[in-house]
Chain A
Amino acid sequence: MARWTVRGIVADMLPVLLALTLVELGSGLVLDTFESTLLRYPSLLVLVPVTIGMAGNLGSIMASRLSTATHLGLLAFEPTDDTLAGNALATVGLAATLFPLVGAAAWGVQALLGGAALSLAAVVAVATASGLALAALAVLVSVIATYAAYRLGADPDDVVLPVVTNTCDVLGVLVLFAVVRLAV
C-alpha cells in the first residue's frame, strides 16, 4: 500500500511522471516535425489522439489480461501458449475491426466540418495500416514487459501497465508518422 499523504504520493509518483513526460516529448517532437503535413491535411490531425489512445488501449488490455493470466498461473511464455496466442489474435482482430471505422469517421467528420483534403480511401488506408502495425507492436511490447516483470519478480499489475501504455503512446505517433510518410 502506498502512502496516503500528499507529500508521500507526490514523492512516489513525480519522478516517474517526469521521466514519462520526457519520453512523451520525444513523440511530441515527431508530431512537431510533421506539423506542416498535419496542418495541410486536418483529417490526419483528427487521427492523432485516436491513434495514440487506441494504441495505448490495445496494449493495456493485452497487458492486463496477460498479467492476470500470469497471476493465475495460466500462462506459459511460449509461442504455442493458447492464452498468449488467443489474446494476440484478439488484439489484432480489434485493430482490424476498429481502425478502418476510425479512419472513415475521421474523414467523414472532417468532410462535414470543412472539406477533406485527402480521399476517403487514403485516410482509411492510413488508419488501417497504422492500426495493424500498432496491434502487432502492442502485442510485442506487452509480452516483453510482462515477461520481464515476471522474470524480475515484480508484480506485473504494478509495473507493466504504465510501461506498456506510454510505450504504445509513443509508438502510436511513430507509426502514424511512418505510415503518413509512406502513403501521403
Chain B
Amino acid sequence: MLPHEFAVPEVLGEFSGTEPARVDDLGLAARYLVVRDGAAPLDALCREDDDRDRHPLGVVIEVEFAGVEDPGEVDLDVRLLAGLTARGLGERLAGVVVAAGELPAGGEAAFDGEGAGAVGAPVDNKRGGDAAPAALALLGDGVGERRREVVGRVNDQRLADGGVGVVGRERRVDEAVAPFTKAGAEGTAVGVGGHRRACRAGGAKTRGRGRRPAALLPAPREPPIMSVRETATEAYREALPVVAVSAVGGLFAGVVLGGMESELARIPGLLLLVPALLATRGNVYGSLGARLASALHQGLVEPRVDLGDERLRAAVAAALANGVLVSGFAATAGFALLAGLGRDHATLPTLVGVALVAGVVSGLVLTVVVVLTVFLGFRRGLNPDTLAGPVVTTTGDVVGIATMLAAARLVLALGGG
C-alpha cells in the first residue's frame, strides 16, 4: 500500500504506450498529460516540439507500480501537480515526473540517461521499503515565489523516503536541489538536463554521456542558508576573475582605440559608431554562444565542428547576416544623425564601408572563437552557458576595435574620408 493517499480527482488526458506523443496531439487544454503504465519518452515529448522554450509541454506523470496487476487500480493524486500548473508554474514548466516503484535489483538507482523515458524511474528506496513514491522531479524553471511555494508543498507531502528534486532544463543540478535542501527535504534528487560537471559533483552518478546527462545527487542535510556577507564573498570571488580578464581585454581595446587618434580625426563620426558596433558584436555573437549552449544541453547540436550540420550552419549564417546588417544600419543611422544635427561627419560610403568591412572580418573571427569555445568547453565538462558570455565580451571588444582600425585604414587608403 502506498504510504500516501493517492486519488485521481480528475484526469485531464491519458496516454498509454511508449510511442512519443505531443500534448497538442492529445488535444489537451491543460498543460499536462497523465501517462500510465508505460513511459512516454520525455525526450520525445520535448524534442517533438521545437517551440518548447516558449510553450513548455507541461507535466508528464509517469507511473510504474511494481507488483500491481492493473495500474488502473492504483489511484494517483495529481491534485498537487495540477495545482502547480494552475498557479502558473506551468508557464515555465517543462515537465513533472513522478515515479513510484519498488527497488530495482541491487537497490541502486536505475537511471538511464539515454532513454529519457527512464526519468523518474524507481530510485533507491531503502528506508521506505514498500512502493513509496521513489522520486518527484520537477523539470523546468519555476519562477520565484511560485517555486518556493512548490517547495513547501512538496515538502508537506513528506516524500522523504524517496527523493525530491527540481531540475531546470539547463540549470545545474546542485543549484536546482538547493531549495529543497533549504526546505529540509531529504533524499535523493534526480534530474536530466543538468550539466555534466554539476552531475559529477557531490558523488553524483552520470550515465548517458554527453548529450543528455542524468544525475543522481545525495541531498545535503544542512540547509545552506547564506548571510549577506557569505553571499557577497561568494559572488565577489566567483566574478572577480571573469571581470578582471574582461578588464584586461577592455584595456587592450582601449589601447587600440587610443592609437586610433588620427583615424578618428580623419573620419569624423567614427567614434559615434564605436558603442553601437561593440554592442552589436556582444549581442549577436553572445546570442550565438547562448543558442549553441542551449542546443548542446538539449542534444540538438553535437559538440563538434561539422559544416554539414544544418542547425550549426543556420545559426552561424544568421549571426553573420545579423552582424553585417546591423553594422551597415548603424553606420547609415549614425550618418543620418550627424547630418541631421549638422555635426561634422565623413561621407556615407566611408562610414558604411568601415562598418561593413569591420562587421564581416570581426564576424568571421568571433564566430570561430565562439563556436570553438562553446564546443571545446562543453566537451571538457564546462558549462557553455557561463563560458560564452565572458569570452564574447572580452574578445568582442578587442576584435571589434581592432577590425575597426584595420577597416578604417583600408577605407582611408582606398580614398575614403
- Answer whether residue B143 sits at the interface, using C-beta atoms and an 8 A cutoff: yes
Q: A93 and B147: CB pair below 8 A? A: no
Q: Given A3-B50, A72-B176, A73-B142, are A169 and B314 neighbors across the interface (CB < 8 Å)?
A: no
Q: B282 and A165: CB pair below 8 A? A: yes
Give A6-36 as 1s and 0s: 1 = Cβ < 8 Å from B's Cβ atoms. Answer: 1011100110111011101101110110010
Q: B144 and A70: CB pair below 8 A? A: yes
Q: A74 and B178: CB pair below 8 A? A: yes
Interface residues of B in 240-296 (CB under 8 A from A): 240, 242-244, 246-247, 249-251, 253-255, 257-259, 261, 264-265, 268-269, 271-276, 278-280, 282-284, 287, 291, 294
B234 proximity list for chain A (CB < 8 A): 86, 90
Q: A1 and B54: CB pair below 8 A? A: yes
- Answer whether residue A126 sits at the interface, using C-beta atoms and an 8 A cutoff: no
Give B200-211 as 1s and 0s: 1 = Cβ < 8 Å from A's Cβ atoms. Answer: 000000000000
**Distance of B269 from chain A, by nearest CB (Å):** 7
Q: A2 and B326: CB pair below 8 A? A: no
Q: B264 and A14: CB pair below 8 A? A: no
Q: A98 and B243: CB pair below 8 A? A: yes
- Answer whether residue A143 sits at the interface, using C-beta atoms and an 8 A cutoff: no
Scoring B229, B231, B265 by chain A CB atoms within 10 A of each residue's CB, the highest score goes to B231
B300 proximity list for chain A (CB < 8 A): 1, 4
**Distance of A163 from chain B, by nearest CB (Å):** 11
CA distance A77 to B147 in the complex (A): 15
Q: Given A38-B271, A173-B275, are A17 and B284 neighbors across the interface (CB < 8 Å)?
A: yes
From B231, B259, B321, B338, A32 is in contact (CB under 8 Å) with B338
In the complex formed, the residue of A with least CB distance to B52 is: A1
CA distance A45 to B250 in the complex (A): 11
Q: B257 and A14: CB pair below 8 A? A: no
- Answer whether residue B13 sits at the interface, using C-beta atoms and an 8 A cutoff: no
Binding site of A, secondary structure by majority: helix, strand, loop or mixed?
helix
Stretch at the interface among B22-30, B186-194, B327-335, B406-414: B327-335
**Distance of B332 from chain A, by nearest CB (Å):** 10
From B149, B228, B251, A89 is in contact (CB under 8 Å) with B228
Give A45-83 as 1s and 0s: 1 = Cβ < 8 Å from B's Cβ atoms. Answer: 111111111101110110001001011111100000011
CA distance A52 to B401 in the complex (A): 13
Q: How large is the interface on B (under 10, 10 to 19, 20 to 34, 35 or more residues)?
A: 35 or more
From A28, A46, A49, A50, B273 is in contact (CB under 8 Å) with A28
Q: Given A1-B54, A28-B276, A169-B279, are A86 and B226 neighbors across the interface (CB < 8 Å)?
A: yes
- Answer whether residue B315 sits at the interface, using C-beta atoms and an 8 A cutoff: yes
In the complex formed, the residue of A with least CB distance to B298 is: A1
B150 proximity list for chain A (CB < 8 A): 73
CA distance A53 to B401 in the complex (A): 13
- Answer whether residue A141 sits at the interface, using C-beta atoms and an 8 A cutoff: no
Q: A90 and B283: CB pair below 8 A? A: no
Give B36-57 as 1s and 0s: 1 = Cβ < 8 Å from A's Cβ atoms. Answer: 0000000000000111111000
Q: A87 and B235: CB pair below 8 A? A: yes
Q: B276 and A50: CB pair below 8 A? A: no
- Answer whether residue B232 sits at the interface, using C-beta atoms and an 8 A cutoff: yes
- Answer whether residue B92 sits at the interface, using C-beta atoms and an 8 A cutoff: yes
Q: Given A32-B272, A97-B240, A98-B244, are A21 and B144 neighbors across the interface (CB < 8 Å)?
A: no
B229 proximity list for chain A (CB < 8 A): 86
Interface residues of A in 118-167 (CB under 8 A from B): 150, 153, 155-157, 162, 165-166
B235 proximity list for chain A (CB < 8 A): 61, 65, 86-87, 90-91
- Answer whether residue A113 sits at the interface, using C-beta atoms and an 8 A cutoff: yes
- Answer whether residue B227 sits at the interface, using C-beta atoms and an 8 A cutoff: yes
Give B288-327 as 1s and 0s: 1 = Cβ < 8 Å from A's Cβ atoms. Answer: 0001001000101000000000110011011101100110
From A9, A48, A65, B257 is in contact (CB under 8 Å) with A48
In the complex formed, the residue of B with least CB distance to A16 is: B283
Give A88-124 as 1s and 0s: 1 = Cβ < 8 Å from B's Cβ atoms. Answer: 0111011001100110011001100100000000000
Q: Given A39-B265, A166-B279, are A71 and B337 neighbors across the interface (CB < 8 Å)?
A: no
CA distance A106 to B337 in the complex (A): 31
CA distance A45 to B389 in the complex (A): 25
B310 proximity list for chain A (CB < 8 A): 4
Q: A39 and B264: CB pair below 8 A? A: yes
**Distance of A93 from chain B, by nearest CB (Å):** 5
Q: A18 and B326: CB pair below 8 A? A: yes
Scoring A20, A32, A46, A89 by chain B CB atoms within 10 A of each residue's CB, the highest score goes to A32
CA distance A102 to B254 in the complex (A): 11
Q: B144 and A150: CB pair below 8 A? A: yes
Q: B240 and A89: CB pair below 8 A? A: no
Q: B141 and A21: CB pair below 8 A? A: no
From A31, A68, A73, A156, B271 is in contact (CB under 8 Å) with A31
Taking A52-B250, A57-B242, A75-B144 as known contacts, 6 extra A-B pairs with beta carbons closer than 8 A to each other, sorted by chain A number, are A1-B50, A13-B287, A14-B325, A48-B257, A52-B278, A89-B228
Q: Identify 9 residue pairs between A and B in the complex whose beta-carbon atoms are under 8 Å apart, listed by A's number.
A: A1-B49, A14-B322, A18-B329, A49-B397, A54-B246, A57-B393, A73-B145, A86-B226, A150-B144
